[in-house]
Chains A and B, each alone.
Chain A
Amino acid sequence: MKKGRQTYILDGKVYISATASIAGVDEGNGRLRDFFDFVIDESEFGCKSHEKAEIKLRKHAIESLLQNASVEADEIDAIIGGDLLNQLVPSGFSAREFDAPFCGLYSACATFGQSLATGALLLGGGAKKVICCTSSHFATAERQYRFPLELGTQPPPTAQRTVTGVGCALLTSERPKNKCPKITSFTLGKVIDMGLNDPNNMGAAMAPATYETITTHLDERGVNADYYDLIVTGDLGKLGRELLCSMLGKKYGAVKDRINDCGCMVFKEIQKCGLGGSGAGCSSLVFCSYLYKTMLEGGLKRILLVPTGAMLSKDSSLQGESIPAIAHAVAIEM
């Protein structure tokens, strides 16, 4: 049921009945090590290129999701999701391995939010089992958006590190045997551009879109910020999170302890990963491991997951365009 201009309230029949996560080497040495299903031991994952590695990572993640949920690929109504690369190569190429319809989606690093929302709508339209999967890889993103890996450059103080990892979630319309989180509502974000044009400072570019989506969600759903145990953004990093908290603070009072960011959760300080993790795999990896497992164990009852994305390309920046950003909010409750 649509409520307001951007929010959809679901009737409680969208269960996240299983998840799977595969993390890269540095992510595996980070803060959430114990929560990942599998950590790879070298960035090429036995492949000839990092792009091939990302395809293989996605294939393995979806296979382990099917295994975790004891489901066969031909029972899946759709595999939906995306990544950061041109033509969604990792998503499309990994989907050829499965006997299931595929739908590629793109909202930059906010694609996981878009996938969960689209998955929920598919279930509303009669689908029974939908897989939402997003991924990113440090090396493939560096090559597409920045410089060759071996080029000796110094990262600026606002840089973030693209997360290597895949997170995938199985949405089902039937209640599984064990209690699991449900998607109860979601808010589709607008593209907001505040005129910032530094591609090395994406947290600042994305914070206004995140603010817009969160406030719209709370207003249209008619709840306060303290309704959620945690509002968790995708990859704002430390700076973006600080900017978001200062904007939200003006409207809702002190909310800093209820707001966290997947990008800030992944790496340890000692790993020198700039202001935090980023990438389409950042929010999906953290949700499908740490957040999902914490919810199952009862540590969190209600969260608002807000994956955030900067819709830029290398060429758009070179052509002098500013950075448009987007955030989609998905309410997940036990």
Chain B
Amino acid sequence: MDKKEYSELVEQTTPRTKEGKTLLFAFAIGGLICTIGQGVSDALAALIPSFDAKKIGALTGVVMIFLGSLLTGLGVYDKIGYYAGAGSVLPITGFANSVVSPAMEYNKEGIVFGLMAKMFSIAGPVIVSGVCASVLIGVIYYIIGLF
């Protein structure tokens, strides 16, 4: 059996992701996380009427990051992720999970060369691409503003 024949056999035999089920779970759990975020935002707006929408948005982010980190520390977030997939990766709680989980994992190699050095090993690419994209958009925005 040559490589091509074998890869065709593997292609036919390999089980596929059950898209219907995983999409539904991602939608439901991701939606739930966002609904909780909206609830937090509304509650904060009601509690602190002096804050404008921008400040409430930032504060909501802080609360959601805290919740994502807490659930990671308690060993719950990976279990949510097992079912939710992208539904729990995409919200800001997922970003918190991607920073806290390597921090916990590599804490055993010490604070400096373990925790600090490795804590952005998963989130690093997101930060780099985010910064690059915002620089690019800033330049485009500036050029458009010249005319």
Spell out A's residues near B (CB within 8 Å). 48-49, 143, 147-158, 194-196, 201, 204, 208, 239, 242-243, 246-247, 275
Contact = CB atoms under 8 A, between A and B. Distances in A.
A55 to B, nearest CB: 14
B40 to A, nearest CB: 20
A112 to B, nearest CB: 25
Contact of A208 (B1, B14, B94, B105): B1
A153 B13 contact: no
B interface, over-half SS? helix
10 contacts: A148-B102, A149-B101, A149-B105, A150-B75, A152-B82, A153-B81, A154-B22, A155-B82, A157-B15, A194-B6
B101 A157 contact: no
B16 interface: yes
A interface, over-half SS? loop
B37 to A, nearest CB: 17
B46 to A, nearest CB: 31
Contacts of A147: 101, 122
Interface of B: 1, 3, 6-7, 9-10, 13-18, 22, 72-73, 75, 77-85, 88-89, 94, 97-98, 100-102, 104-106, 108, 122
Contacts of B78: 149-153
Max count, chain A CB within 10 A of own CB: residue among B3, B98, B105: B105
A201 B7 CA distance: 12
Contacts of A208: 1, 6
Contacts of A151: 78, 81, 97-98, 101-102, 122
Given A49-B108, A239-B15, A242-B13, A152 B7 contact: no
Contact of A152 (B6, B17, B77): B77
Contacts of B1: 208, 247
Given A148-B101, A149-B105, A152-B97, A195 B3 contact: yes
Nearest to B74: A150
B10 A150 contact: no
A188 B141 CA distance: 64
Max count, chain B CB within 10 A of own CB: residue among A48, A150, A247, A275: A150
A148 B122 contact: yes
B119 to A, nearest CB: 10
Given A152-B77, A152-B88, A194 B3 contact: yes
A194 B72 CA distance: 39
B118 to A, nearest CB: 9
B25 to A, nearest CB: 9
Contacts of B84: 152, 154
Contact of A148 (B15, B73, B94, B104): B104
Max count, chain B CB within 10 A of own CB: residue among A148, A201, A239: A148
Contact of B105 (A143, A156, A204): A143
A239 B82 contact: no
Given A152-B72, A152-B82, A155-B82, 15 more contacts: A48-B108, A149-B78, A149-B105, A150-B75, A150-B78, A150-B105, A151-B98, A151-B101, A151-B122, A152-B78, A153-B82, A154-B83, A156-B17, A194-B3, A239-B13
B13 A152 contact: no
A208 B1 CA distance: 9
